[in-house]
Amino acid sequence: MAQDSHDAPDFAAMSGDAVLQHLQVTLDGLRPEEVRHRRTQDGENTFSQAPADTLCYRIRCAFINPFCIILAIVAFISYVTDSYTNGFSAGGKVEAGIIVIMIVIGGLLRFSQEIKAKHAGDQLRALLHTTVTVRRQGKCCHIAHTELVVGDIVLLTAGQTIPADIRLLQTADLFVSEAALTGESRIIEKTAAPAAPAAGRTAPDMAYMSTTVLSGTGLGAVIAVGNRTRYGKAARVSRPFKDSFQKGTRSISYVMLRFIFIFIPLIFILRGLPDHHWSSALAFSLAVAVGLIPEMLPMVLTACLAKGSISLSHKKTIVKNLNTLQGLGSLQVLCLDKTGTLTRENIVLEYFMDILGKESHKVLDLAYINSFYHTGIRNPIDTAILSCAAMPRRTDYYRTLTEYYHKLAEIPFDYTRKIATVLVGAPKKQPILIAKGNLKDIYKRCTAVAYENKTLPIRNGSFADVYTIVQDMLEDGMKVIAVAVKTFPKGTTVIRPQDEKDLTLLGYIAFFDAPKPSARISLEELKALHITPKLLTGDAEEIAKSVCRRVGIPAQHIVSGADLQDLDAAAFDATVRKNTVFAELSPEQKVQIVQSINRQPAMTGFMGDGINDMPALLAAHVGISVDTAVPATKDSADLVLLDKDLQILATAIREGRKTFTNMLKYLKITAGSNLGNIISVVMAGLCLPFLPMTSLQLLLLNLFYDALCIVLPWDTVDEEDIAYPKDWSGKHLGKFMLLFGSISAVFDGITFAFLYYMFIPLVLHCPVFSAALPPVLQEQYIRLFQTGWFLESLWTQIVILYFLRTSKMPFIESRPSWQVMSVTLAGLFVFTGLLFTVGMPVVGLVTMPAPYFVFLPGICAAYILCVGAGKYIYIRKYKKLL
């Protein structure tokens, strides 16, 4: 019975009886054996909202990325070149095997952390909307939405997220938001009458998975579940690429590849010209180029990201994708709503008044009836109005009032009309339409006003007359809505949006939307992090201005949704760039603003929790939601906060920048050191009659160093490095590599000269290396040289880590963490001690004489002084080190 969502138009055109017949079901529902059979055939009603939530996608991301691809190529080249030059010895296999092991370990580490994040997100999604009401064997029961099968008879109510594609069979004032599916905020009235969808629209008799019931009730038959639903198929199509981490990774990879492509032909030509042994020259050039790549880069980066993710999980933040941490580290602009973010979610009813500002219980009573019978998703305004029933001596009054008036029909609130309307009736009275909503939108539908039991026409009036009455309240930050009525002929039971005209304005209700005590402090923390907050709200300009004044957001000029409507693209972008507060916005305008910020370009975050926030959340580089958000919005977010508080977000951003900084430390320092080694190998290869270090020894050197760098995620980070957004790209990587790689190469050259002309001849009691030396002595000479450079490279790489990890004075102004200190120093002594073991001759290394360990500290001290000077020059020119 499985049906693709492509079959939905066929179901839409069928009658209800034909649908039931096709699905082989009755309104009484399925029998247990039928449910089991269909579940076996169709599977569970589950799907992955985004490709990153599928197991295959996460495996692909963990093991197939630019760095891993480069390493795989390196392993292949290492194996082929070494096998070619050494007759398929074990050396190439060892090198290639080590690199492959690094790829596997890094991939598994990343995969395990991604799965943990996924499971945390799944647990959050399970907190809300986990059950659905179905009819089976004539009885209503509640089941998990994952247990739905094709043919189930489902009952829909207001506030419910529709769990599958459903052909509606019965409806009563059923209005649905399809923002999760179409990105549009308008509401759709659904009916059970067969009708094919209009061009570009959804079918009116179909309720689609992930859309939300705003009001009314419905009953329908499930026609598709899981990935076969319209939403399931749309969600599995990759959304527009917005992962800046991957872009930055590609940029860094290109920088390294450029160096590789420069060195390969250069070394090939210089090495091959003297003796014209071009095959050996090619093998040598490829082997040397291999040394540029930080072999453990994927593993170290994943360790940094995993450490950051775990830290955030302890700080009420769930990271659904490890790469989100980079987005947090780079975040420059944060778009946020007012209610629940800057202000309390629970607003307080303060005033109810007539058109001249005099207290009016009639206005409150009609607003109460409207909120009481409004079956759409409850909002803070409805909650505040309905709380009046708890006032002393008012409970019985409001119970009697709602018993006297009964609901006939309604039109729920939507962001296009900004009005909630109900039609109510009473004995021996004409039906009354009660509308409450935005001041401007109510007023433009009014043709009269009511005052002291009199109805007066609006003649040559303007909205300024209304504004005069409520101006003080709006400027104080109060939220004001209008209440209007209209009488209909007896027997009226249906209303449409076009009936919301010729209304009579009765008065206003005012609410106090108090800012959160932590809002000002949180915004100051964000500003200290050099993040620009932009307020995007649907409330009136005056309310937005008042709230901004209270929480400290500059609001000299507020841009309204109306101001943005007629702007061309260039003017729109300029307006968004210059201003930080936007009011009276539709959900579509929020999306346009986010997209405009992206074009600046700037790393953009959007924080939202409503169904209408989802399009803007998807458009942002970092989508942020909370665990109380509607499921569709929460599923679409990259980051889920367990508490809707900007202080938690500020903490998450700081953690993201710490993670980012530690990733940059490893990348820049290691890449610069590796480049220095390659330059040194090139110089020595051109000047010396033997290789200064074999490719296996280079790989072992990098492996020792990288193993110690695994501890970098636990390093401390200077406040200056957290204060500004980070840029994950290869923009300055090449310059950093060239400067510090060249300094490293200079001291390698000094070490070469010392070993070749002084130390080794003195130790071996022989002249400088030449072909005249006995083969045994030549072998000793080469091994001592290679071991000496191996030690000097290892010591300088580790020592310099302390000096390039910070732009400050090491150990005095900036101390490394105890983990970094203990692991690196212990590793230095352990790896040095390995040279005194019997296993090192296997890789061509030997025990160095004791006098060499007098030279090592001296060369390291001189190297530190030169690196310090280079760091000073680099910071003056580029304003930052990392």
**337 is an active site residue:** yes
Q: How far apart are CA 621 and CA 321, in angstroms?
A: 12
Least confident of 146-150, 186-190, 398-402, 426-430: 186-190
Q: Please state, in angstroms and as integers, the Cα–Cα distance from residue 462 to each residue in 437, 444, 583, 584, 849, following that order.
A: 18, 9, 21, 19, 97
List the structure tokens of 205.
Answer: 């008799």
Per-residue pLDDT tens for 585-634? 877 788 889 989 988 878 888 987 766 677 788 788 888 887 766 666 77
Is the pLDDT higher at 499 or at 612? 499
**Which pLDDT band, with edges at 50, 70 and 90, does 114 fall under?**
low
Strands 559-560 vs 581-583: parallel, antiparallel or unpaired: parallel
Task: Name the nearest CA neighbour of 167 among 218, 239, 104, 115.
Answer: 218
Q: Which range among 50-64, 204-218, 845-859 has the greatest average pLDDT?
A: 845-859
Least confident of 92-96, 567-571, 596-600, 732-736: 92-96
Using the structure block, give the residue that is written with the tokens 């995007």. 536
Taking residues 745-755, report their average pLDDT. Answer: 91
pLDDT score of 168: 92
Q: How far apart are CA 36 and CA 41, in angstroms?
A: 9
**Which pLDDT band, with edges at 50, 70 and 90, does 507 fall under?**
very high
pLDDT score of 8: 45
pLDDT score of 237: 41
**Which pLDDT band, with edges at 50, 70 and 90, does 431 fall under?**
very high
Q: How far apart are CA 661 and CA 712, in angstroms?
A: 10
Name residues whose C-beta falls within 8 Å of residue 578's C-beta, 6 or more positions apart in sequence: none
**Which pLDDT band, with edges at 50, 70 and 90, does 734 fall under?**
confident
**Which pLDDT band, with edges at 50, 70 and 90, does 485 fall under?**
very high
Strands 604-607 vs 622-626: parallel, antiparallel or unpaired: parallel
User: 846 burial class (0-12, 13-18, 19+ CB within 10 angstroms)?
Assistant: middle
User: For residues 628, 629, 635 and 639, what is the CA-based torsion angle, rounded to 10 degrees?
Assistant: -70
Q: Please state, in angstroms and as integers, the Cα–Cα distance from residue 11 to each residue in 4, 176, 211, 470, following that order.
A: 11, 19, 18, 51
pLDDT score of 248: 65
Least confident of 3-17, 420-434, 540-554: 3-17
Taking residues 782-801, report their average pLDDT. Answer: 89
Taking residues 37-54, report their average pLDDT. Answer: 68
Q: How far apart are CA 696 and CA 691, in angstroms?
A: 12
Q: Can you list the domains of the chain with their CATH numbers?
A: 5-43+149-224 (2.70.150.10), 260-310+653-878 (1.20.1110.10), 317-343+516-647 (3.40.50.1000), 348-512 (3.40.1110.10)
- Of all residues in the chain, what percent carry a pLDDT higher than 90? 13
CB atoms within 10 A of CB 681: 26
Taking residues 742-751, report their average pLDDT. Answer: 90
Q: Please state, in angstroms and as integers, the Cα–Cα distance from residue 793 to each residue in 131, 635, 676, 741, following that order.
A: 62, 48, 10, 12
Q: How far apart are CA 724 and CA 797, in angstroms?
A: 28
Per-residue pLDDT at 508 exceeds 90: yes
Per-residue pLDDT at 256 exceeds 90: no
**Which run of H or E residues covers position 583?**
strand 581-583
- Checking 762-769 for CB contacts under 8 A at 24+ apart, the result is 763/849, 763/851, 769/688, 769/689, 769/690
pLDDT score of 434: 95
Per-residue pLDDT at 124 exceeds 50: no
Per-residue pLDDT at 50 exceeds 50: no
Is the pLDDT higher at 46 or at 769? 769
Per-residue pLDDT tens for 798-832? 888 888 888 888 888 888 888 888 888 888 888 88
CB burial string 399-424: b at 16+ within 10 A, e below? eebbeebebbbbbbbbbebbbbbbbb
Per-residue pLDDT at 240 exceeds 60: no
pLDDT score of 6: 41
Per-residue pLDDT at 89 exceeds 50: no
**Which run of H or E residues covers position 303?**
helix 297-313
Per-residue pLDDT tens for 286-333? 666 666 666 666 667 777 777 777 778 777 787 777 677 777 888 889
Q: How far apart are CA 250 and CA 447, in angstroms?
A: 62
Taking residues 537-543, report their average pLDDT. Answer: 79
φ, ψ dihedrals at 418, nearest 5°: 60, 35
pLDDT score of 169: 92
User: 729 burial class (0-12, 13-18, 19+ CB within 10 angstroms)?
Assistant: middle
Query: What end-to-end distance do the CA atoms of the chain give, in Å?
Result: 59
Is the pLDDT higher at 59 or at 549? 549
Q: How far apart are CA 686 and CA 868, in angstroms?
A: 29
φ, ψ dihedrals at 487, nearest 5°: -95, 140
Per-residue pLDDT at 146 exceeds 60: yes
Using the structure block, give the residue that is written with the tokens 């909205």. 463
Strands 187-190 vs 206-207: parallel, antiparallel or unpaired: unpaired
Q: How far apart are CA 728 and CA 726, in angstroms?
A: 6
Per-residue pLDDT at 861 exceeds 80: yes
Q: How far apart are CA 831 and CA 108, in angstroms?
A: 26
Q: How far apart are CA 277 and CA 56, in angstroms?
A: 47
CA angle in degrees (0–180, nearest 5) for 115-118-123: 130
Q: Please state, in angstroms and as integers, the Cα–Cα distance from residue 381 to each residue in 159, 374, 390, 478, 595, following that order.
A: 16, 12, 16, 12, 30
Q: Which range among 57-66, 95-104, 606-615, 852-861 has the greatest average pLDDT?
A: 852-861
DSSP letter assigned to residue 627: T
pLDDT score of 505: 93
User: For residues 441, 442, 444 and 447, what is the CA-based torsion angle, rounded to 10 degrees?
Assistant: 170
pLDDT score of 83: 64
**Which pLDDT band, with edges at 50, 70 and 90, does 862 fall under?**
very high
Per-residue pLDDT tens for 437-467? 988 889 889 999 998 888 888 877 667 777 7
Per-residue pLDDT at 217 exceeds 70: yes
Bridge partners of 188, per DSSP, are 176
Taking residues 365-374, report their average pLDDT. Answer: 91
Using the structure block, give the residue that is written with the tokens 């859309």. 211
Per-residue pLDDT at 360 exceeds 70: yes
CA angle in degrees (0–180, nearest 5) for 466-468-469: 70
Q: How far apart are CA 52 and CA 246, in angstroms?
A: 13
- Of all residues in the chain, what percent carry a pLDDT higher than 70? 81
pLDDT score of 67: 65
Bridge partners of 451, per DSSP, are 454
Adjacency order of strands within the sheet including 581-583: 317-319, 639-641, 622-626, 604-607, 333-336, 532-536, 581-583, 559-560
**Which pLDDT band, with edges at 50, 70 and 90, does 51 fall under?**
very low
Q: How far apart are CA 143 and CA 166, in angstroms?
A: 16
Name residues whose C-beta falls within 8 Å of residue 842's C-beta, 6 or more positions apart in sequence: none
DSSP string, 99-142: HHHHHHHHHHHHHHHHHHHHHHHHHHHTTSS-EEEEEETTEEEE
Per-residue pLDDT at 723 exceeds 60: yes
Per-residue pLDDT at 504 exceeds 90: yes
pTM (2 d.p.): 0.70
Contact by Cβ (8 Å): 134, 141 = yes
Q: What share of the chain is helix, strand, coil (3-state, %, to 5)?
A: 55, 15, 30
Contact by Cβ (8 Å): 372, 386 = yes
**Which pLDDT band, with edges at 50, 70 and 90, does 85 fall under?**
low
What is the average pLDDT value for the chain, to the nearest integer?
80
Catalytic residue of the set 42, 337, 513, 573: 337
CA angle in degrees (0–180, nearest 5) for 113-103-70: 120
pLDDT score of 279: 67
Bridge partners of 420, per DSSP, are 436
